[in-house]
Amino acid sequence: MSVLEQLRRVLPELSTREARAARHLMSNYPMAGLTTVAEFAKQSEVSTATVLRLVKRLGFPVYSEFQNALRSHIEETLQSPLMRLGERQTRDSQTSDTFFARTCARMAGHFQTLPEVLPEEEFNRAAKLLSDRKRDVHLLGGRYSSNIAHYMGDLLTAVRGRVQVISGQTQSWPQHILDMGRSSILVVFDVRRYQEDVVAFTHAAAKRGATVILLTDIWQSPAARSASVVLPFQVDAPSIFDVLTVGLGVAEGLVGAVASMADEQGRKRIEALETARAQLTEGYGTGRGEEQ
């Protein structure tokens, strides 16, 4: 479990001052914890004793071990496929399992332990937000995760209206900010190595009042600082590339949950969509347009 995951789990049990220090660390993760105890305490507006109590609550007997864990976080999040290539080749030489078998076992394990990584109440909270048709929904992803954003947007459009996927050149993104406000939801996909443009857009949308739902890896994108709901998932695999398989499953699960909450208006939308599809299919099959 990462320090950030531990923080989220112990937060309800902390004293007022400990919670203040914890929230400061979560909002400036992990850099706030890499300063001295005195500086961390000063920035959190608590005493050094409070910071040390928080560190012990997180399972670290001394402050230096706490900082080592944060440094490990940075090392893991900055790993590139090239860095992992040598490591994987060494591991592969030490096992007789096939690559396919290792991949199946890893993915099965990730899905089996997903409830331990992603709290069910957070998943339900995200689904409830997305089911509110009074809200407009925008989806954004990074270089590869944008594929999941597009897919989720397509599925979500079948259940509810006012869904827009943000795509194209980064220079065109600011125009989407103009349509966001307190009734808006921004669904963001961002995994390691996190994209600065995605993070910056997330912060800008949150400042305009948008509610941010972030799907990210267990190390968590810096976009988490502006997120109201964070849905982490595992991305490591036998491959040198991180996998988005579990993230795709979470996205599909969210759409399924939203569909299960559909009221009469939502059901009518799905029926209308099916009718439109049938009419188009019939038109294509006969070679005749609707006007004929």
Residue-range domains of the chain with CATH: 3-77 (1.10.10.10), 114-261 (3.40.50.10490)
Single-letter amino acid code for the residue at 280: L
Q: What angle do CA 106, 193, 6 make, to 5 degrees?
A: 65
Phi, psi of 190 (to 5 degrees): -155, 120
Give residue 267's pLDDT: 86
Give residue 4's pLDDT: 82
Distance of CA 209 to the CA centre of its chain: 19
pTM value? 0.74
What number is the average pLDDT over the span 8-26?
90
CA dist 198 and 102 (Å) reads 32
Task: Convert 135-174 to b/e letters by CB count within 10 Å (16 or more is b).
Answer: bbbbbbbbeebbebbebbbebbbebbeebebbeeeeeebe
Q: In a 10 Å sphere around its CB, with 0-12 CB exposed, 13-18 middle and 19+ buried, how is residue 272 labelled? A: exposed
C-alpha closest to that of 228 among 210, 211, 209, 206: 211
143-183: pLDDT as tens digits: 999 999 999 999 999 999 999 999 988 989 999 999 999 99
Rg (CA), the chain: 22
CA dist 198 and 169 (Å) reads 12
75-104: pLDDT as tens digits: 777 666 655 565 555 555 566 789 899 999
What is the percentage of the chain residues whose pLDDT exceeds 90? Answer: 59
Report the interhelical angle of 48-57 vs 37-44 (nearest 10°): 100
